[in-house]
Amino acid sequence: MVKTSSSARLARSRVWAEPCLIEAAKKEYDGVIEEFLAVGEKLFGPYVWGRYDILFMPPSFPFGGMENPCLTFVTPCLLAGDRSLVDVIIHEISHSWFGNLVTNASWGEFWLNEGFTMYAQRRISTEVYAPWGEPTPEVWSSPLDTQSHPAAQALLALFAASS
């Protein structure tokens, strides 16, 4: 087990893995999970689930990641050694707001889950990785006109209420 915050008192996430993967997991994810959670909270409101842990599954795990409130199962393939695949974790964390906290009414609307999650993933990624402190791209903050689709207006209202 690896605590992913520099202070055990502040750690609300842990990475769980087989002993042979612990050092690679620590190198890849030490400190970044808390940063992703904090940026998500800044953008979308409180993280209501308390803990956010990651469990590295055996290599036969057939998915990049599968989120659940408080725990995400991930493939050890995410241990690239250069943090180039952390966007998968950002995606799974984004489900904490879109998929776990607010979700679709039926499987016919499941695309909303992934659509809003991809939006959240890109917002968090932009905040964390915008080079040289550049501001968030204008596309994220441009107002929607009155002719926009009702779903777009609802999404804008949701984000306006959370800021």
Catalytic residues: 92
Q: Which residues are annotated as a binding site?
A: 91, 95, 114
Please report where in the chains the tokens 């996430």 appear, as a residue: 13
Nearest to 143 by CA among 155, 127, 125: 155
Please report where in the chains the tokens 């998915």 appear, as a residue: 63
Q: Which residues are annotated as a binding site for Zn(2+)?
A: 91, 95, 114
Spatial separation of the C-alpha atoms in residues 31 and 27, rounded to whole Å: 9
Nearest to 78 by CA among 5, 17, 120: 17
Nearest to 55 by CA among 15, 93, 4: 15
